[in-house]
Structure 1
Amino acid sequence: MAGLTVAVQGPRTAPRRVRRPLLSLVPALVVGCYLLVAAVGPVLIHYDPVHTSLEDRLLAPGSRVSGGGTAWLGTDGLGRDLLAQIVYGARTAVLIGVSTVALSCLVGVLLGAVAGYFRGVADAVLARIFDVLLAFPAILLAIVIAGAFRRSVLLVVVALAATGWITFARVTRGIALSLRERPWVDAARVLGVPGRTVLARHVLPFTAGPVVALATLEFALVVLAEAGLSFLGIGLPASTVSWGQTIANGKEYLETQWWISTLPGIALSLLIVNVGILGDQLTARYGRGRSDRTG
């Protein structure tokens, strides 16, 4: 009977075990597709965001344009192809997201590691900076910075990174505070290893996992914030395609030409949701790995 029970239950449980890992790969595959579109799409699709074609304005998805081609996702109020805007918008979102996260990560990890390991004045000063910057909403500070200067990609990156580095600094500081009391760090200090070397070799490598997981989550927030700034008209210039601008261009036609705002909104939502899920997966994996090692 025991053998019969195993034979009956085996086929029922096996597919579930196989199905779960496959489903967990979906966010990574979706994000990978976005990265591929951002890298290769602009090479395959030629698009001039400044050029307008009033003859082709407000065409439905699948319509023929005056030049003989097909507007697979329709056109906007100025006759610009919506598929090209989504593809070029993906490149803009990835470029700004990666640049902002990289800048925030570089500043935050360095300041957080120094403050957490050396403590003293550096830690006290960083704590006061945290208090001051956290008193202002991040998006409000980004709006103030972006609205005070001429619109450009560099300005948007700086505006979003102005507060983005705080999260990286806080996470890195907490890890450095924990690691500075570990036996191998104490042994290195007893052997006379310089503090900078100890920090670089015995502390910073252990921050890689949590920082990568955090960077994934911050990437989604940066992409959403950039779209919000562009939607308000204080983000990127008109010569740079952004999902936020495309959505804003279609808000006047929501009742009739719904695809102008809906399709870029769907593209933006899919990217943010899947990046968020991927970040949660990385956070759970590295968090469990740290608890296993410390336990």
Structure 2
Amino acid sequence: MTGVADLITSRAVRRTRRGSGRVPAVVIGLYLFVAVLGPMLIDYDPVQTPLEDRLLSPGSHTSSGGTAVLGTDALGRDVLAQIVYGARTSVIIGLATVAVCVVVGLLVGFAAGYYRGVADAVLSRLVDVLQAFPGILLAIVIAGVFTPNLWVIVLALSVTGWISFARVARSVVLGIRERYWVDAAWLVGVRTTRLLGRHILPFTVGPVVAMATLEFALVVLAEAGLSFLGIGLPSSSVSWGQTVANGKEYLGSAWWISAAPGLALAVLVVSVGLLGDSLTARYGRARS
């Protein structure tokens, strides 16, 4: 009876884990929809500054005859428009940074795990050196040195982000490299690139996808933090971190300026984190 109960329990846990990612996936899909199509559906310019509409509360009517659904900030800018355009900024930076981290991490991890020896030693030491520095500190330095723009932020957030992907790729390659089908492919003269792409890469897809979702959440948070500190995107762009920073001096009188984008950021990060946990539980944690 104990074995039957354990089997039923394990199946229930697996079903719960599979279903736990559905709600976060729907929420993330909504954010993607807003990021792609949202700017086409609203009439407000997020950087326009009609001072006559400054600090309007949510639901107030503007001087142009519209409605400020989430209110306006100290310069009269519509908070909802800033959230919608900020979603596009966060999604673009998040996806671009994760893409760079995945490509660089897989290349480094495959090289270290496949060639081993000197290549593995050199690349492993490089990883150790980069891990000795806090990633956010390196991002702040890079963002402060170069003229701030979207691609500088992507570079700054990618400096250490690829390390976790490299460790996963190296672990997978070391575990698969000695399998019989890999030896057979090597013996018949299959090229290294085809061998890695055809016989080893598929085993990294699950762990990498799960890790990429978690990395996306970290990148969105980091970008908002840099923008909040004033060293992220320029003022001509819209970022959730900038909007939160703009409202920090009005928390007592105009709380919606910081609360609305802060809530949007929190919901996105939590949803991505839950989806990442669901994928990790489904595909299993890769050993580093």
TM-score with structure 2 length normalisation? 0.91
Q: What letter is aligned with 1:39?
A: V
Pairwise CA distance, 1:50 = 3.3
What is residue 222 of structure 1 aligned with on the other side?
A: 219
Per-residue displacement from partner, 1:48-100 (whole Å, max 9, x unpaired)? Answer: 34321111100100000000000000000100000000000100000000000
- 1:197 paired residue among 185, 194, 198: 194
Pairwise CA distance, 1:226 = 0.2
- 2:153 paired residue among 156, 163, 178: 156
What is residue 123 of structure 2 aligned with on the other side?
A: 126
What is residue 105 of structure 1 aligned with on the other side?
A: 102
Q: What letter is aligned with 2:206?
A: G
Distance (Å, rounded) in 1 between the aligned partners of 2:216 and 2:188: 40
> Larger relative contact order (C-alpha < 8 A, sep ≥ 6)?
2
Stretches of structure 2 that go unaligned for 5 or more consecutive residues are 1-12
Distance (Å, rounded) in 2 between the aligned partners of 1:281 and 1:211: 13
What is residue 27 of structure 1 aligned with on the other side?
A: 24
Per-residue displacement from partner, 1:107-163 (whole Å, max 9, x unpaired)? Answer: 111111121111122211111111110010000000000000111001000100111
Matched, 1:237 2:216: no
Per-residue displacement from partner, 1:26-45 (whole Å, max 9, x unpaired)? Answer: 11110110001101101112
Distance (Å, rounded) in 1 between the aligned partners of 2:214 and 2:185: 34
What is residue 252 of structure 2 aligned with on the other side?
A: 255
Contact 2:102 2:212 (C-alpha < 8 Å) held by counterparts: yes
Pairwise CA distance, 1:241 = 0.5
Aligned length: 275
Contact 2:71 2:78 (C-alpha < 8 Å) held by counterparts: yes
After superposition, residues 24-103 of structure 1 pair within 5 angstroms as 24-103=21-100
Cα distance change on mapping 1:169 and 1:19 into 2, 3 Å? closer
Pairwise CA distance, 1:164 = 0.7
Per-residue displacement from partner, 1:187-207 (whole Å, max 9, x unpaired)? Answer: 112222232321121111211
CA RMSD of aligned residues (A): 1.9
Q: Which has more radius of gyration?
A: 1
Distance (Å, rounded) in 1 between the aligned partners of 2:239 and 2:19: 32
Contact 2:46 2:78 (C-alpha < 8 Å) held by counterparts: no
Stretches of structure 1 that go unaligned for 5 or more consecutive residues are 1-15
Contact 2:142 2:156 (C-alpha < 8 Å) held by counterparts: yes
After superposition, residues 155-194 of structure 1 pair within 5 angstroms as 155-194=152-191
Contact 2:143 2:231 (C-alpha < 8 Å) held by counterparts: yes
Q: What letter is aligned with 1:219?
A: F
- 1:141 paired residue among 134, 138, 141: 138
TM-score with structure 1 length normalisation? 0.89
Cα distance change on mapping 1:34 and 1:130 into 2, 3 Å? same
Pairwise CA distance, 1:24 = 4.0
Contact 1:49 1:239 (C-alpha < 8 Å) held by counterparts: no
Cα distance change on mapping 1:35 and 1:121 into 2, 3 Å? same
Partner secondary structure for residue 223 of structure 1 = helix
**Percent identity of the aligned residues?**
67
Contact 1:49 1:238 (C-alpha < 8 Å) held by counterparts: no
Per-residue displacement from partner, 1:194-245 (whole Å, max 9, x unpaired)? Answer: 3232112111121111111111110000000000000000000111100000
Cα distance change on mapping 1:17 and 1:49 into 2, 3 Å? closer
